């Protein structure tokens, strides 16, 4: 069979691999990565995905997991144990916040949420047992952009790890490890896979020590990705650069359109010059600003309902980053678990709509939004 050279890696849809004899088994343990034993440990398809993402992010290695959530879990558990303390940006994906504050606190990890205006001044928040800071390159859903280089300097000063969720930006726009981050993770479900048909996560590490810990956590906790999902995600990844360019240029066109619309009260998009982090986003993102934006119409759920029902092409879906445009409602989905006070503080009010801009023709997207806004 050695003459077969497929251009695309076949799907290794198997839970287990066989050995010829005890010598082959010993070789497996003595030379890691040369052969396979059990898909929970590793599989050619998930290895291919990990290698490709690692290449894009420029790390020492990567580990893929069953979802973005299990990627965050693996990253935190790789560094922290009971009795340790974690810092987390206050404005972050609701699922990340819930994992840290509701679940990891139950197993003895302390968590402090850091307000956005204190992110570069961590001194009051750092304790002797603080191990890491978790942030997003661009925050969900109001697109705050963090200066990764400054955060890296700040975390190094306090000798804590900087863990960056790079899901919204992707390595096409920003490479956090090159800017000084220690660990980068993604929900592969979103842009990396890109077609709304995979649930997966990935963790990329700068240091071998962290990488080995992440691998151990993934294997022992059983956070592995299935071969088929790995294959699909690796397939989607091949067009990431093309897709991100189109997502970004479309989102800028849509943001400009929304900003000029009488029924839109506010638009959050880092590519607008009015955005408080526009210059930083332009420098850190090589002139691209991503495909995610949020905007506010009047703070009335019924108005939002009328807008959603008015859309003919754009569906209401609680995820993001597919090739097709979709909208989401942070108050009712991603940030549902936050208290009323937290939402008010973060400016996530009843009229805020999150838009994941796809790769269709921008005129099509704008036309659908236009006729839906006419219903409001």
Residue 347: predicted pLDDT? 83
* CB half-sphere exposure, 350, CA atoms < 13 A: 8
Distance between CA atoms of residues 369 and 79, nearest Å: 44
165 is catalytic: yes
Among candidate residues 269, 303, 268, the one with its CA nearest the CA of residue 375: 303
For 291, counting Cβ atoms within 10 Å of its Cβ (0-12 exposed, 13-18 middle, 19+ buried), the class is: buried
User: In the chain, how long is the greatest CA-to-CA distance?
Assistant: 74
Say which of 165, 182, 210, 213 is annotated catalytic. Answer: 165
Distance between CA atoms of residues 166 and 176, nearest Å: 8
C-alpha angle 8-20-48 in degrees, rounded to nearest 5: 25
Residue 336: predicted pLDDT? 75
SS3 content of the chain, % helix, strand, coil (to 5): 40, 15, 45
Residue 32: predicted pLDDT? 83
Residue 238: predicted pLDDT? 98
Token pair in block for residue 341: 């006070």
Say which of 12, 36, 93, 329 is annotated catalytic. Answer: 93
Distance between CA atoms of residues 182 and 156, nearest Å: 10
Q: Are 133 and 161 in contact (CB under 8 A)?
A: yes
From first to last of the 376 residues of the chain, give the pLDDT tens digit: 567 899 999 999 999 999 999 999 999 999 988 899 999 999 999 999 999 999 999 999 999 999 999 999 999 999 999 999 999 999 899 899 999 999 999 999 999 999 999 999 999 999 999 999 999 999 999 999 999 999 999 999 999 999 999 999 999 999 999 999 999 999 999 999 999 999 999 999 999 999 999 999 999 999 999 999 999 999 999 999 999 999 999 999 999 999 999 999 999 999 999 999 999 999 999 999 999 999 999 999 999 999 999 999 999 998 999 999 999 999 887 777 677 787 777 788 999 999 999 999 999 999 999 999 999 9
Quickly count: other Cβ atoms within 10 Å of residue 180's Cβ: 18
Q: Are 325 and 251 in contact (CB under 8 A)?
A: no
Residue 341: predicted pLDDT? 81
Say which of 28, 40, 84, 150 is annotated catalytic. Answer: 40
Which domains occur in the chain, in start order? 39-237 (3.40.640.10), 240-373 (3.90.1150.10)
Q: Which H/E stretch holds residue 62?
A: strand 61-65
Confidence (pTM): 0.96
Sheet arrangement for strand 266-268: 266-268, 292-296, 352-356, 326-328
Residue 340: predicted pLDDT? 78
- Under DSSP, the state recorded for 35 is S
190 is catalytic: yes
Distance between CA atoms of residues 195 and 237, nearest Å: 10
CA gyration radius for the chain? 21
Quickly count: other Cβ atoms within 10 Å of residue 137's Cβ: 27
28 is catalytic: no
Say which of 190, 213, 215, 243 is annotated catalytic. Answer: 190
329 is catalytic: no
User: Residue with structure tokens 């001044």?
Assistant: 121
Phi, psi of 359 (to 5 degrees): -110, 20
């Amino acid at each position: 069979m050695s003459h077969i050279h497929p251009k695309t890696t076949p799907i290794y849809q198997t839970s287990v691999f066989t050995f010829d004899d005890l010598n082959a088994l010993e070789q497996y343990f003595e030379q890691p990565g040369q052969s396979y034993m059990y898909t929970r440990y590793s599989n050619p398809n998930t290895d291919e995905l990990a290698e490709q993402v690692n290449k894009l992010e420029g790390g020492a290695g990567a580990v893929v997991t069953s979802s973005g959530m299990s990627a965050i879990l693996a990253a935190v558990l790789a560094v922290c144990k009971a009795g340790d303390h974690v810092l987390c940006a206050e404005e972050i994906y609701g699922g990340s916040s819930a994992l840290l504050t509701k679940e990891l606190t139950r197993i003895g990890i302390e968590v402090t949420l850091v307000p956005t205006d204190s992110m570069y001044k961590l001194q009051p928040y750092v304790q002797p047992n603080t191990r890491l800071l978790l942030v997003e390159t661009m925050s969900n859903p109001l697109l705050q952009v963090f200066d990764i280089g400054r955060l890296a300097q700040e975390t190094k000063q306090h000798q804590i790890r900087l863990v960056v969720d790079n899901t919204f930006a992707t390595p096409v726009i920003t490479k956090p490890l090159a800017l000084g981050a220690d660990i980068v993770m993604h929900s592969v479900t979103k842009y990396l896979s890109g077609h709304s048909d995979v649930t997966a996560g990935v963790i990329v590490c700068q240091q071998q020590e962290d990488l080995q810990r992440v691998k151990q956590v993934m294997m022992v906790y059983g956070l592995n990705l299935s071969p088929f999902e790995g294959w699909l995600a690796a397939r989607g990844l091949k067009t990431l650069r093309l897709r991100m360019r189109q997502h970004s240029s479309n989102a800028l066109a849509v943001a400009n359109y929304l900003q000029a619309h009488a029924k839109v009260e506010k638009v959050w998009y880092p590519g607008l010059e009015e955005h408080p982090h526009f210059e930083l986003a332009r420098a850190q993102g090589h002139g691209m600003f991503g495909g995610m934006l949020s905007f506010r119409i009047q703070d009335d759920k019924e108005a939002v309902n009328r807008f959603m029902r008015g859309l003919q092409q754009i569906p209401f879906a609680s995820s993001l980053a597919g090739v097709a445009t979709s909208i989401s409602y942070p108050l009712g989905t991603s940030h549902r678990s936050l208290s009323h006070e937290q939402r008010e503080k973060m400016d996530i009010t009843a009229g805020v709509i999150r838009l994941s801009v796809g790769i269709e023709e921008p005129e099509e997207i704008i036309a659908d939004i236009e006729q839906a806004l006419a219903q409001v």
